[in-house]
Amino acid sequence: MTDGVLAMLPKAKTTMGCVWTIDRDNSKAKLTLDNKEFEQLVQDRFGYRLGQIKLTSKPAVFPLYLVQAEQVYKNNVLFFGNALHFLHPVSGQGMNLSIRDIGFLYDLLVESDFSQNSITAVLAEFAKVRKPDHDRTIFVTHGFVKWFVSNDTKFVASRNAGLHLLQRSKLAKKVLSRVMMGKLSKGSTLMRKVVEDER
């Protein structure tokens, strides 16, 4: 893969959002293409797994930065979602992380009496409990992007080996899936209920 990471994110029954991570010069060149040329480029790159690709809106460029708040809360104000962690959109992990945050916050609030001391304790516990998942998800998400975009020989060799391992090993797929779903630690009661309901 010498042309960055391309991901298709479901939006509606027959509509997908396309996120293509490439370097700045490459993105400028692609924006000069007309719709037909761009459609063909995406089609060639992604294949026909979703059928024929048609643009429904004009392609746009957005610079991507990792943003992570230095503090999870301050003066009893909790930072949440993109205000707390703005991740690369390629794997949808920002949303998943926020959903897991909601579940854990719910568990803590259920036990709270909502006094000043209780709220302060809830926020401190939330920051402590959620930090490992935040750090791990951010590391994996942004590591993947660097891993797939780089043309450095070491990255290319490790990328090929890693993809080969994922194709061949059910265990490797399972471990990666558990990391991306935040299942390396005990989930919130809300998330455990969702899992039970799906069984």
CA-to-CA separations, 148 to 26, 104, 108, in angstroms, rounded: 15, 32, 38
Instruction: Among 18, 45, 63, identify where a domain stops.
Output: 63
Q: Are residues 122 and 175 in the same domain?
A: yes
pTM for the whole thing?
A: 0.65
SS3 7: strand
For residue 175, the Cα-to-chain-centroid distance in whole angstroms is 16
Instruction: Among 63, 90, 117, identify where a domain stops.
Output: 63
Sign of CA dihedral 18, 177, 172, 159: positive
Sign of CA dihedral 38, 62, 17, 159: positive
State the residue range of the domain holding 45.
1-63
pLDDT of the residue at 83: 84
**pLDDT per residue as tens digits for the range 19-57:** 888 877 888 889 899 999 999 999 999 999 899 999 999
> Is it the case that residue 86 has pLDDT exceeding 90?
no
What average pLDDT score do residues 122-130 get? 93
Q: Are residues 91 and 185 in the same domain?
A: yes
pLDDT of the residue at 155: 73
Instruction: Among 42, 63, 84, identify where a domain stops.
Output: 63
Sign of CA dihedral 72, 77, 78, 80: negative
d(CA 174, CA 178): 6
